[in-house]
Chain A
Amino acid sequence: MKTCQVNWLRTLCLMLVFISVSGVAALAAADEHIYDSANLLSESEIADLEAVAAKYSQEQDVDFLFLTTADENMPLITDYMGDFFDEWSIENNQKNVVLLTMNIATRDVYLAGFGKAETTLDNKRVDMVLDRIVPEMQNGDYADAFRETVTTSSRYMEYRPGVNPENILLKSWFQLLVALLLGAGVVGFMLYNSGGRVTTTASTYFDGDHTRVTGTRDQFRNKTVSRRKVPKNDGGSGGGFGGGGTTGGGTSFSGGGRKF
């Protein structure tokens, strides 16, 4: 019994090690990630965020960029963002980009994924990231909002495209909880039944020949009707817009934007 369990554990450990080794790859990334034209960040914040962005950019092989502007007359933030990307992409020879753009004058924020990130950070995941960062933006916490964008996006991008990364079934704590409950349930059942089980049922002593229904009534009494509106299924809240598009230079992207 004991040796059998030890062997089993060893196999499990080997399997875990094998699986975790296979996802680490590092590639060079751009030098500059923060383009703070609106001067919303302090020097130290920029230095800090550059470090974070560089670290994650290398890990993911996707550059995380933060672009701020303060242009009251900008009609569409996506155009501004697209132009920036086209230029940046040629300069740095890098197509895989996650770009967080904000216009402090119009209070627009737009998060986009280019190249590889277009699939790994699709519109749904962009929306989920926005859900997390918009409150911080509303508080004026732009540095934290970008940091959150970088960490959360890279976490989401680990997951296979199309999968909801916040699905409870993928959470370790939930899996552990299910495993423990199931273990306790099964062992509890075994313990409960160790002294022998009751195997008589309602039909054991039932006399079908003399049991019968002698009177039935199923009388309609009244009815109630309740109405409610069909819930709108657009999911957008707080003035959402976008959902991807194409830049002037012809690169398609995933994305989503909000007012904050």
Chain B
Amino acid sequence: MVIQYKCPNCGSDMSFDSESGHLSCPNCGRQDEIETFPETNIIRKFDPDEAKEYHCENCGAVILTEAQTTATHCSFCGAPVLLADRLTGDLAPAKVIPFTISKDEAVAAFRKWTNNGRLTPRGFTSGDRIKKMTGMYVPFWLYDIEGKADVEALATRVHSYTSGDTIYTETNFYDVRREIDLSYLKVPADASEKMDDELMDKLEPYNYGELKDFKMPYLAGYLAEKYDYGDEELFSRIETKIVPYIDSYIGSTISGYSTLSYTNKQIQTNKKNVYYTLFPVWMVYYDFDNKEHTFAMNGQTGKVVGKPPISAFKVAAWFTGIAASVFAVMKVVAFAVGGVLW
């Protein structure tokens, strides 16, 4: 089933506007609340041989999609279309964070970011070689984690005092135990095979204040994908992600000791709730030196991640600059204090 949103005024295809958070008509400028958009203007077209291909309601062209695509544009007439059967049932997202950064803002934010690249080549910093910017809803699983930790440790407190001409060093040993109920909320893991995990982790954090219940119109005008990995498959990734957090929390509950060595550490984590969620990401494809570089931008906060090209000259220049100035400063201080330069 293909879904398109038709403007109640002029019948054009509407798309989601990140600035107002409404459905907006590119033709007449009409804006509609997502919650109250009239049912009659939602065109649902069912193809009998839908397993193989989808057809655009406007022009009848075949919509070219990959198996994961849930929202895209008609490659012929450009109308925003949603592939509804890939967004319903088991595949229905529970939550969505809508785009708050428009394409123009994304371009500006990306240029600003390239400008700040201290180690990138000069041609790269101008930021004017953007080949393509794609706004994309990336599937994530959000986990509410519940857990228990039970740790035992051997701790010492050391203090020393002098009596007569003898220094006494007293070491007190303690058995320490902590039992802790743990809770972490909405820890994300990206469920798309295509997206680099490390890149997606660096895009965090998102502001959950704008987390909305999923409605299809949010996707109109953007690309969207469905998950490749189920929530069970990704839970081990979540565990490795939160174990350092748990460790640091445990450490914070034990204080006042000189040394601490754990003798027993048991941590159990279970998922309490899982939310299938779509996060907004701008993918930036940038041409430089005949090579395409891919960057990702958090569509809500504007944070940019991705490996930029590195200029060996700039690296060398920064290194020599810093080393030379540190050396000069140390020399000046040494001269001021000791009165000798060499």
Contact = CB atoms under 8 A, between A and B. Distances in A.
Interface of A: 1, 5, 9, 12, 15-16, 19-20, 158-160, 163, 165, 167, 169-170, 172, 175-176, 178-180, 182-184, 186-187, 190-191, 194-200, 202, 204-207, 209-230
A15 B211 CA distance: 60
Given A191-B119, A223-B172, A230 B178 contact: no
Contacts of A222: 172-173
B186 interface: yes
B202 A176 contact: no
Contacts of A179: 322-324, 326-327, 330
B330 A1 contact: no
B133 to A, nearest CB: 17
B323 A182 contact: yes
B319 A198 contact: no
Given A159-B339, A172-B342, A187 B318 contact: yes
Given A158-B340, A215-B177, A194 B326 contact: no
A227 B166 contact: yes
B175 interface: yes
Nearest to B331: A175
B304 A169 contact: no
30 contacts: A16-B341, A179-B322, A179-B324, A179-B327, A183-B322, A183-B326, A187-B315, A194-B120, A194-B308, A196-B199, A196-B305, A200-B204, A204-B204, A205-B184, A207-B183, A209-B183, A211-B182, A212-B181, A213-B179, A215-B179, A217-B177, A217-B178, A219-B175, A221-B154, A221-B174, A221-B175, A222-B172, A223-B172, A225-B168, A228-B169
A155 to B, nearest CB: 9
A204 B168 CA distance: 45
Contacts of B155: 218
A20 B172 contact: no
Interface stretch (B223-231, B245-253, B274-282): B245-253
B303 A163 contact: no
B306 A211 contact: no
Given A183-B323, A196-B305, A202-B245, A230 B182 contact: no
Contacts of A221: 154, 173-175
Given A175-B334, A182-B326, A205-B184, A198 B202 contact: yes
Contacts, number: 194
A207 B184 contact: yes
Contact of A198 (B162, B173, B201, B338): B201
A178 B242 contact: no
A167 B202 CA distance: 45
B265 interface: no
Contacts of A160: 337-340
Interface string B88-99: 000000000000
The 9 A-B residue pairs with the shortest CB-CB distance in the complex, in nearest-first order:
A196-B305, A183-B323, A210-B183, A215-B179, A160-B339, A179-B327, A207-B183, A179-B326, A202-B245
Contacts of B202: 195-199
B248 A202 contact: yes
Given A169-B334, A202-B248, A202-B249, A213 B327 contact: no
Contacts of A210: 146, 181, 183
Contacts of A15: 328
Contacts of B173: 220-224
Contacts of B303: 196, 199
A195 B170 contact: no
B317 interface: yes
A211 B183 contact: yes
B148 to A, nearest CB: 9
A159 B181 CA distance: 62
A163 B333 CA distance: 13
Contact of B119 (A163, A184, A190): A190
B310 interface: yes
Given A190-B318, A205-B184, A224-B170, 13 more contacts: A12-B328, A16-B341, A184-B319, A195-B306, A199-B205, A205-B145, A206-B249, A207-B185, A210-B146, A223-B170, A225-B169, A227-B166, A228-B169
